[in-house]
């Protein structure tokens, strides 16, 4: 049982509160992603979990045991850093062996030169473990090299290897892919997911990249300015964000938002058109959110816009439309065949899928809403 | 077309004048620095009369000459004819226990450097990487101490050592130098360039703070340590001032620069040949060390950090 639980964690640096009463439970074997914009406190939360940073208030427990005041090494967690943080003067094999040496050898066994002679058996076991992990990660040929002689991707693997040898309760990763080039990053996503499936260990993964969070996690926690706004499986968070900030942050291109108003007769006034609402019916200013893939071109569409820009991704084309009454360009996903018929600066008609419309209060909270699927005139 | 070529020529020409100027200035500088060394080596090779009359060029004629001291001891004149080089260098070793002095020099400089490192690394680590109350104030004090000249505190230091009965010991030569604010400052600047993640990784791996200093920071700081080592060793190997103060009677504790004094102000006048031979012998270890460490030294000075 190694359920990890963070309870009401608070942390300030000087006067600035960085974490405000953050709580999160992580089940054993789960791949949990902390995602949020830069500076929202993800790294700080992870460092508090690892023990590298001390929380001002709150409790960290691992497997039911309170570890709030336990040293990092004794929490048996392993961390992978964005900069890899390999020891530059040690070979790859020695880098990977360091956590084992610190854990399994007594003081005298760690002495240079004579240590390996005195504790020969332990060394042999450790070398076996290192070799095994190196096999898994396919870095055996690199074992004798120094980190300076490795490429970014290789260093990344070595850093993973150093985390894996000690078979920790959980892996903590702080933006481990940010320093890789785009192609390698996508490849490593798949590989990390695969590794997680094989090891069945808990992964806590920090990233500012919502795509990474969506592709890899079992559950993701969206953080903003020191709070966790929503926790849930990626699909759930994408389709059902509980507030406007989450909806805006998750998804690329970002969700379209419009200022709108629920009128006293229960109609929704939206960029020059009124839509019938089934619920709610109380009069209020609201924000309407709708994702690009829930808008579609249609000759009989109720909305009109001028094509300002075509963003061609090959499989999809995103059309950026200037729509009268909307503050920002509206982004709409079209398939390439449809998009081919559209010329720049021309007028197009489009419509929305009513059951996919998200409604938010002016404070940003989500409103349960149902739009009539059929307009009755 | 031809204009373009002229342009290229012009730029090439301008570039080379500037380079030539730079080289002339550098060469002049190098000459000024090297001239005393030239004189030192030259004098250590020549016979006394050549030195006095300033003849014989660099090497001297290398003719045998009469060693007056040998004659005074009652030897036959033909037994006392000596080659200048051999005379100068053997006299250097015979007249004073030069090997003993060299050994003293090594013991003192190495002890100073080792203790300086043992003190400076933890201090620099704390100043660069640990967060504690008053850190900035302590660092400001370090900077302030950089401004205090050695000579200003020499007297109080001497009095303290004398009260402790430590004058005329190795301890007197070593203890005042064991805390090097320059070393702390230099290493602190270097440690600032070491990524925090590396230290956090070591903490996750289970190293204690001292473990981090000796097993992670020390190996990554080798280039900076080499640079500091050269500053420290050169300064204390060549130091004449401090040993002159605390070593008053005991010739067994003389460091090499004190040894040079043995050739000065004798009853039979200055004996420049052997004196310069001694000087040559004293600087040789430094030059050899520097040549061996040259590349690392320059790396260290530029403080090229990680990555
Ligand atoms: N050691 C520190 N001292 C002062 N402020 C810090 C420190 N570490 C982080 N912060 C501040 O805390 C906030 C959150 O930082 P961090 O957790 O690193 O964000 P993230 O990883 O989400 O980008 C930032 O505004 C940052 O400036
Ligand atoms: Mg971060």
- Sign of torsion, CA B243 B246 B250 B252? negative
The predicted pLDDT at position B266 comes to 58
Q: What is the DSSP string of A159-187?
A: HHHHHHTT--SEEEEESTTTTS-HHHHHH
Preceding peptide of B270 cis, ω within 30°: no
For residue B200, how far is its CA from the centre of ligand 2 (angstroms)? 14
Q: Which residues contact B80 (CB under 8 A, 6 or more apart)?
A: B66, B67, B70, B71
Assigned token pair, A108: 């005298």
- Is residue B20 classed exposed, middle or buried when 0-12, 13-18 and 19+ CB atoms within 10 A define those classes? exposed
Tell me which residue has tokens 């040898």.
A165
Question: Any idea where the domains of chain A sit in the sequence?
Answer: 4-239, 253-367
Quick one: pLDDT band at residue B304, thresholds 50, 70, 90?
very low
Which residues on chain A are in Cβ contact (under 8 Å) with B206?
73-74, 99, 102-103
Chain B, nearest residue to A172 by Cα: B204
| B236 Cα to chain A: minimum distance (Å) | 30
- Tally C-beta pairs within 8 A across A and B: 57
User: Does ligand 1 come within 6 angstroms of the Cβ of A38?
Assistant: yes
C-beta of residue A267 within 8 angstroms of C-beta of residue A275: yes
- CB contact, 8 Å: A82 with chain B? yes
For chain B, percent of residues with pLDDT exceeding 70? 89
Tell me which residue of B52, B210, B54, B42 sits closest to B125, measured CA to CA: B210
Question: What sign results for the dihedral spanned by CA atoms A243, A245, A249, A252?
Answer: positive
- Given a cut of 70, whether residue B267 has pLDDT beyond it is no
Where do the structural domains in chain B lie, given as residue ranges? 1-45, 97-306
- Cα–Cα dist A41/A48, whole Å: 11
Strand partners, A285: A261
Measured from the CB, is residue A294 less than 6 Å from ligand 1?
no
Residue A199 · residue A107 · CB < 8 Å: no
Q: Which of B198, B203, B306 sits opposite A73 (nearest CB)?
A: B203
Please provide the DSSP assignment of B187-211 as one string.
HHHHHHTS-HHHHHHHHHTT--HHH
- How far, CA to CA in Å, does B248 sit from each of A89, A249, B96, B245, B253? 46, 78, 16, 7, 9
> Strand A273-279's sheet: what is its strand order?
A366-367, A358-361, A284-290, A256-262, A267-270, A273-279, A370-371
Torsion of CA A299, A303, A308, A314, to 10 degrees: -60
State the nearest Cα–Cα gap between B175 and chain A, in angstroms. 29
- Rounded CA separation A254/A247 (Å): 8
Per-residue pLDDT of chain A (377 residues; tens, 9 = 90+): 579 999 999 999 989 999 999 999 999 999 999 999 999 999 999 999 999 999 999 999 999 899 999 999 899 999 999 999 999 999 999 999 999 999 888 888 888 778 888 888 888 999 999 999 999 999 999 999 999 999 999 999 999 999 999 999 999 999 999 989 989 999 999 999 999 999 999 999 999 999 999 999 999 999 999 999 999 999 999 999 999 999 999 998 999 999 888 887 778 888 878 887 777 777 888 899 999 999 999 988 888 899 999 999 999 999 999 998 888 899 999 999 988 888 888 899 999 888 889 999 988 899 887 777 665 44
Nearest ligand (C-alpha, residue B196): 1
Tokens of B61: 């004629």
Closest alpha carbon to B46 in A95, A280, A268, B54: B54
pLDDT value of position B307: 40
**β-pair partners for B9:** none
Please list the alpha-helical segments (H only) found in chain A: 42-50, 92-104, 114-118, 120-137, 152-164, 182-199, 210-216, 234-239, 244-249, 336-340
| CA-to-CA dists, residue A355 to A190, A278, A295, B213, angstroms | 32, 11, 11, 61
B200 CB near a chain A CB, below 8 Å? yes
Q: Which of A74, A81, A103 sits opposite B201 (nearest CB)?
A: A81
> Residue B220 and residue A73: Cβ atoms within 8 Å?
no
Q: Is the peptide bond before A253 cis (omega within 30 degrees of 0)?
A: yes
Contacts of A72 in chain B (CB under 8 A): 203-204
A185 in contact with ligand 1, CB cutoff 6 A:
no
Q: Which of A13, A85, A147 has the highest number of chain B CBs within 10 A, making it the mutation to test binding with B? A: A85
Name every chain A residue with its beta carbon within 8 A of the beta carbon of B201.
79, 81, 85-87, 162
Q: Which CATH class is domain A4-239?
A: alpha beta
For the Cβ of A40 lying below 6 angstroms from any atom of ligand 1, the answer is yes
Does residue B4 register a pLDDT over 70? no
Section B250-269 average pLDDT: 76
Backbone angles phi, psi at A341, to 5 degrees: -85, -5
- Cβ of A207 below 6 Å from ligand 1: no
Give tens-digit pLDDT for B146-188: 999 888 999 999 999 999 999 899 999 999 999 999 999 999 9
pLDDT at B246 exceeding the cut of 70: yes
φ, ψ for residue A366, nearest 5 deg: -75, 140
B204:A77 CB<8 A: yes
What is the pLDDT, as a whole number, of residue A109?
81
Give the model confidence (pLDDT) of A289-317 as tens digits: 999 999 999 988 888 899 999 999 999 99
As assigned by CATH, the class of the B97-306 domain is mainly alpha
pLDDT higher than 70, residue B302: no
Tokens for A153, please give them: 């991707």
Check the CA dihedral B226-B227-B232-B237 and report its sign: positive
Q: Residue B250 — φ and ψ, nearest 5°?
A: -75, 105
Atom of ligand 1 nearest to the CA of A53: 1
pLDDT in tens, B101-151: 999 999 999 999 999 999 999 999 999 999 999 999 999 999 999 999 888
pLDDT digits (tens, 9 = 90+) for B63-96: 888 877 778 877 777 778 888 888 889 888 887 8
Helices (H), B62-97: 68-72, 84-95
- Check pLDDT > 80 for residue B213: yes
Q: Given pLDDT bands bounded at 50, 70 and 90, which one contains residue B306?
A: very low
Strand pairing category for A170-174 and A202-207: parallel
| pTM of the model as a whole | 0.83
Query: Which of A82, A88, A98 is closest, CB to CB, to B205?
Result: A98
Considering only CA atoms, which residue is closest to atom 25 of ligand 1?
A39
Atom of ligand 1 nearest to the CA of A206: 21
> Cβ contacts (< 8 Å) between B211 and chain A: which residues?
102
The ipTM value here is 0.87
- Residue nearest to ligand 1 atom 26, measured at CA: A39
B233-239: list long-range contacts, CB under 8 Å, 24+ apart.
Answer: B233/B109, B233/B110, B233/B113, B233/B286, B233/B289, B234/B286, B236/B108, B236/B109, B236/B112, B236/B113, B236/B177, B237/B105, B237/B109, B237/B282, B237/B285, B237/B286, B238/B286
Give the pLDDT band of residue B8 (cuts 50, 70, 90): low
CA distances from residue A228 to A55, A220, B63, B203 in whole angstroms, order as listed: 16, 10, 93, 27
Q: CB–CB of A79 and B195 under 8 A?
A: no
pLDDT at B174: 95
How far does residue A225's CA lie from ligand 1's centre (Å)?
11
């Amino acid at each position: 049982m190694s359920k990890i639980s963070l309870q009401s964690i608070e942390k300030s640096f000087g006067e600035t509160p960085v974490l405000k009463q953050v709580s999160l439970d992580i089940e054993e074997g789960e791949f949990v992603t902390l995602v949020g914009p830069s500076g929202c406190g993800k790294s700080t939360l992870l460092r508090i979990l690892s023990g590298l940073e001390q929380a001002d208030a709150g409790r960290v427990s691992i497997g039911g045991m309170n570890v709030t005041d336990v040293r990092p090494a004794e929490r048996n967690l392993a961390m992978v850093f964005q900069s890899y943080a390999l020891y530059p003067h040690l070979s790859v094999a020695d880098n990977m062996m360091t956590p084992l040496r610190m854990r399994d050898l007594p003081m005298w066994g760690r002495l240079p030169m004579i240590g390996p002679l005195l504790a020969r058996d332990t060394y042999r076991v450790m070398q076996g473990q290192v070799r095994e992990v190196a096999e898994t990660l396919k870095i055996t040929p690199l074992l004798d090299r120094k980190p300076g002689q490795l490429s970014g991707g290789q260093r990344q693997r070595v850093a993973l290897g150093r985390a894996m040898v000690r078979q920790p309760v959980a892996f903590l990763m702080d933006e481990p892919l940010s320093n890789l080039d785009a192609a390698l990053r996508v490849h490593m996503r798949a590989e990390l997911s695969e590794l997680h499936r094989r090891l069945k260990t808990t992964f806590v993964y920090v990233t500012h990249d919502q795509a990474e969070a969506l592709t890899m996690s079992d559950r993701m926690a969206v953080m903003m300015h020191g709070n966790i706004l929503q926790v849930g499986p990626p699909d759930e968070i994408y389709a059902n964000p509980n507030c406007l900030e989450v909806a805006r942050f998750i998804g690329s291109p970002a969700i379209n938002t419009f200022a709108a108003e629920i009128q006293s007769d229960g109609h929704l006034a939206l960029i020059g058109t009124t839509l019938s609402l089934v619920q709610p019916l109380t009069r209020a200013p609201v924000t309407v959110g709708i994702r690009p893939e829930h808008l579609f071109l249609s000759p009989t569409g109720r909305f009109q816009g001028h094509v300002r820009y075509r963003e061609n991704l090959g499989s999809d084309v995103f059309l950026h439309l200037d729509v009268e009454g909307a503050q920002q360009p509206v982004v709409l996903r079209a398939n390439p065949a449809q998009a081919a018929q559209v010329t720049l600066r021309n007028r197009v008609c489009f419509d929305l899928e009513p059951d996919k419309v998200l409604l938010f209060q002016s404070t940003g909270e989500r409103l349960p809403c149902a739009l009539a699927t059929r307009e009755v005139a | 077309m031809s204009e373009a070529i002229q342009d290229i020529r012009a730029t090439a020409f301008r570039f080379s004048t500037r380079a030539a100027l730079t080289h002339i200035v550098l060469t002049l500088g190098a000459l000024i620095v090297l001239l005393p060394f030239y004189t030192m080596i030259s004098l250590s090779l020549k016979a006394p009369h050549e030195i006095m009359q300033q003849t014989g060029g660099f090497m001297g004629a290398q003719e045998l000459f009469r060693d007056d001291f040998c004659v005074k001891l009652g030897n036959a004149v033909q037994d006392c004819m000596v080659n200048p080089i051999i005379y100068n260098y053997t006299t250097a070793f015979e007249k004073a226990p030069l090997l003993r002095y060299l050994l003293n020099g090594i013991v003192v400089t190495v002890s100073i450097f080792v203790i300086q490192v043992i003190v400076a690394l933890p201090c620099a680590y704390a100043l660069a990487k640990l967060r504690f109350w008053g850190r900035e104030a302590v660092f400001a004090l370090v900077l302030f101490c950089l401004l205090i000249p050695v000579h200003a505190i020499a007297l109080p230091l001497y009095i303290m050592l004398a009260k402790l009965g430590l004058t005329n010991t190795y301890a007197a030569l070593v203890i005042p130098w064991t805390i090097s604010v320059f070393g702390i400052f230099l290493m602190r600047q270097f440690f600032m360039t070491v990524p925090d993640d590396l230290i956090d990784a070591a903490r996750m791996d289970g190293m204690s703070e001292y473990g981090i200093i000796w097993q992670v920071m020390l190996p990554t700081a080798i280039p900076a340590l080499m640079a500091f080592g050269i500053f420290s060793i050169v300064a204390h190997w060549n130091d004449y001032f401090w040993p002159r103060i605390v070593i008053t009677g005991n010739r067994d504790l003389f460091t090499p620069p004190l040894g040079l004094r043995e050739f000065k102000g004798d009853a039979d006048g200055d004996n420049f040949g052997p004196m310069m031979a001694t000087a040559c012998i004293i600087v040789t270890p430094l030059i050899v060390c520097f040549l061996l460490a040259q590349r690392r030294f320059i790396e260290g000075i530029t403080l090229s950090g990680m990555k």
